[in-house]
Amino acid sequence: MLVLAVHGSAVSAAAATIGRLTAAVEALSGIRPVVGHLDVQSPSLADVVRRHPRSVVVPLLLGDGYHRRVDIPAVLEGTGCALTDGLSGEPDIALALRSRLRDAERRRGPYTRADAVIVAGAGSSRPGGNAGTTACADRLAALLECDPDAGPDPVPVVPAYLTSAGPTVPEALAALHAAGHRRIAVAAHLLAPGRFTHALAGCGAWTVSEPLADHPRLARLVVGHYESARGTRVVRAARLAC
């Protein structure tokens, strides 16, 4: 059994987004994931792994903070479940984020590009918990430099956070505005709609990208983690080639 460990949200659109991800995973692998929630929604992860012991649990988390290192292992103790790595730092996340960024830019105009980008992560106070966001910002910057229509000057790409860490998104926006940038895009390093995406919608950026969970690359990542845990991996890892 494949179990997706997700944070959970009171926003109804979050469940729909995760539903599209599970359908895409099933289409790729023939396996319908069971979703277990860490908060807010049911069924809880504890209930799911109690019903499905010895499953492979894939944490649908972009950071390697408290949930991945403490909460989930505690829930899985004694269940015989295998816990995979989360999605923090995966090259496919940067590729999916670039795709979402381009979609957000096209909503502002067919030939318009951001002149600066903020990669907005949830934020963690735990050591290493924000490494996924910073790595994604670095990779996105490299991808944008490789674009065929890239200008002579690199587009600044900076990480920022919505809680527990700095700089905050408003601080990053203010700094980029002060440096003369006007078309500042926020690339949401977030998985599903919720309070953080709602906060970004009103942050004052030139454009804001959609969350990532239902991007096709995420389904491939989940299947790859599952197959690695089972020793049957067939999904190739993404390459950040220009």
Q: What is the pLDDT of residues 214-229, one digit of tens each?
A: 999 999 999 999 999 9
Extents of the domains making up the chain: 2-88+214-230, 91-208
The class level of CATH for 91-208 reads alpha beta
Model's pTM, two decimal places?
Answer: 0.92
- Give yes or no for a cis peptide into 127 (omega within 30° of 0): no
Q: Which pLDDT band, with edges at 50, 70 and 90, does 166 fall under?
A: very high
Of the two residues 82 and 233, the one the predictor is more confident about is 82
Q: Do domains 2-88+214-230 and 91-208 have the same CATH topology?
A: yes
Q: What is the pLDDT of residue 182?
A: 96
Please give the structure tokens belonging to residue 64: 């390697």
CA distance 116 to 159: 11
Q: What is the pLDDT of residue 231?
A: 82
Share of the chain above pLDDT 90, in %: 78
Question: Quick check: 183 and 112 in contact, CB under 8 A?
Answer: yes
Q: Which pLDDT band, with edges at 50, 70 and 90, does 178 fall under?
A: very high
Q: What is the pLDDT of residues 116-144, one digit of tens each?
A: 999 999 998 888 889 999 999 999 999 99
CATH code, residues 2-88+214-230:
3.40.50.1400
Of the two residues 231 and 3, the one the predictor is more confident about is 3
**Beta-carbon contacts of residue 63 (< 8 Å; ≥ 6 apart):** 86, 88, 121, 122, 124, 129, 130, 131, 132, 133
